[in-house]
């Protein structure tokens, strides 16, 4: 067993540490009433959090369920919401205290919910693998885990965390947060759970990298892509992975796993379809881009002011075109039909208005 780290709870019992965690956790959430209340009395909430930690008085608030529609996956999800004080702050404190511990030994190409390891990180890895090793990326094994968050057992997760952390008080605090979910598994929507879910699959990453025939491997949370030169090797790897998930982690591999030639249909991953010769935008993302271009172009032609959400949304979609071979589509739908400069002006004026009204 590697050397375990202690005194993480003591690390949280520091007012400067608490203040930093509160400010980091509030980024992008200034419109929320509970976050506003904390920021307006920052010193007061720093002291409250400090007293709560010193007195070991933190009790997780029962989360509130909310149904949202995930456009990326085109399905509804149930997320759990907790107030920023004390729960949101505690989540950030715990992650800030153990971030270095979790990052130590984490697979380099685990690319989800980790600073500096977003979709661009996964995109660059797949592109480089396809370009530099055409033979080793001839076939692809694509798979994911069935109901990943609801299938993680809180006690098993804490046991896994105890392999690196020996601070019992800190582990008890983390367990109280994880176990506060009224539904099975861990809650979708907790900031701390993103890190824990990534860490939980660390043994799986090591197994996959050690399997014969696996040439390249990248993971986006529970969405896994494995490349190899032999279909037989990938099928054997898939069987080993399924067995490991069930025996060691009590998880089940979803039945829609696939082994296929990369150049036959492309690897559909993180919003793109990757081929050896080129990269294309995922079909449904491309259709949304076209529809939004036509909608905004119609507004401009009719003299209607372009709303901020349309301008910012289209600029975001246009940004995704930079990472694929879509020059013709960009020229046809964006450059000729919509003024990018006008969209940027709408966003700029909206941001200026926000700064003036909140100053």
pLDDT digits (tens, 9 = 90+) for 309-339: 999 999 999 888 888 988 888 888 887 778 8
Residue 155 has pLDDT above 90, yes or no: yes
> Tens of pLDDT along 167-205?
999 999 999 999 999 999 999 999 999 999 999 999 999
In angstroms, the Cα distances linking 293 to 9, 42, 311, 343 are 51, 43, 10, 11
Instruction: Please compute the mean of the pLDDT values over residues 227-238 and round it to a whole number.
Output: 98
pLDDT of residue 68: 85
Pair 98, 9: CB distance under 8 Å: no
The dihedral built from the CA positions of residue 95, 99, 102 and 107, taken in this order, carries a sign that is positive
Smallest Cα–Cα separation from 329: which of 273, 282, 289?
Answer: 289
Q: Which residue has the higher pLDDT, 76 or 214?
A: 214
Q: How far apart are the first and last CA of the chain?
A: 53
H or E segment and range at residue 238: helix 231-249
Residue 129 has pLDDT above 90, yes or no: yes
Average pLDDT of span 351-356 = 83
Distance CA 359, CA 239 (A): 59
pLDDT at 330 (0 to 100): 82
| Across 234-259, average pLDDT | 97
Per-residue pLDDT tens over the stretch 10-29: 999 999 999 999 999 999 89
| Omega within 30 of 0 (cis) for the link into 86 | yes
According to the model, what pLDDT value does residue 341 have?
87
Q: Enumerate the domain spans of the chain.
A: 280-358
Q: What is the pLDDT of residue 72?
A: 66
Residue 346's closest CA among 324, 319, 318, 313? 313
Q: Average pLDDT, whole number, for the chain?
A: 93
Answer for the pair 5, 165: CB distance below 8 angstroms, yes or no.
yes
Give the pLDDT score at 358. 63
Quick one: tokens of 183? 């539904």
The Cα–Cα gap between 284 and 265 comes to 16
- CA 242 – CA 86 distance, rounded (Å): 39
Closest to 125 measured CA to CA, from 229, 226, 264: 226
Question: What is the dihedral angle through the alpha carbons of 18, 22, 23, 24, rounded to the nearest 10 degrees?
Answer: 100
Residue 67 has pLDDT above 80, yes or no: yes
pLDDT at 359: 56
Query: What pLDDT is attached to residue 115?
Result: 87
Give the per-residue pLDDT at 329. 82
Q: For residue 252, how many other CB atoms are within 10 A of its CB?
A: 14
> What crossing angle do the helices spanning 42-54 and 33-40 adopt, rounded to 10°?
90
């Amino acid at each position: 067993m590697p050397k375990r780290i202690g005194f993480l709870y003591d690390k949280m019992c520091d007012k400067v540490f608490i203040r930093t965690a509160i400010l980091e956790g509030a980024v992008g959430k200034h419109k929320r009433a509970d976050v506003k209340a904390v920021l307006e009395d920052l010193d007061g909430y720093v002291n409250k959090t400090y007293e709560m930690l010193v007195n070991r008085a933190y009790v997780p608030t029962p989360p509130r369920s909310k149904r949202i529609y995930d456009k990326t996956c085109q399905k509804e999800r149930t997320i759990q919401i907790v107030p920023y004080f004390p729960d949101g702050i505690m989540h950030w404190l715990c992650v800030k205290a153990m971030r270095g511990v979790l990052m130590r030994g984490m697979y380099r190409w685990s690319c989800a919910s980790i600073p500096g390891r977003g979709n661009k990180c996964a995109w660059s890895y797949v592109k480089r693998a396809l370009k530099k090793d055409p033979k080793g990326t001839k076939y692809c094994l694509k798979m994911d885990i069935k109901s990943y968050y609801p299938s993680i057992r809180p006690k098993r997760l804490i046991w896994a965390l105890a392999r690196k952390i020996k601070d019992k008080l800190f582990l008890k605090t983390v367990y109280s947060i994880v176990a506060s979910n009224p539904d099975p598994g861990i809650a979708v929507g907790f900031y701390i759970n993103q890190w824990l879910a990534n860490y939980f699959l660390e043994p799986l990453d090591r197994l996959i990298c050690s399997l014969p025939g696996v040439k390249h491997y990248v993971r986006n949370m529970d969405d896994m892509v494995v490349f190899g030169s032999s279909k037989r090797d990938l099928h054997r790897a898939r069987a080993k992975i399924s067995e490991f998930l069930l025996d060691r982690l009590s998880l089940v591999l979803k039945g829609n796993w696939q082994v296929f030639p990369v150049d036959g249909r492309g690897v559909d991953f993180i919003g793109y379809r990757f081929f050896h010769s080129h990269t294309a935008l995922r079909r449904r993302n491309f259709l949304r881009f076209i529809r939004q271009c036509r909608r905004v172009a119609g507004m401009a032609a009719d003299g209607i002011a372009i709303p901020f959400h349309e301008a910012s949304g289209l600029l975001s979609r246009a940004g995704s075109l930079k990472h694929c071979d879509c020059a013709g589509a960009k020229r046809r739908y964006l450059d000729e039909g919509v003024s990018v400069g006008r969209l940027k002006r709408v966003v700029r004026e909206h941001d200026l208005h926000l700064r003036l009204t909140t100053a």
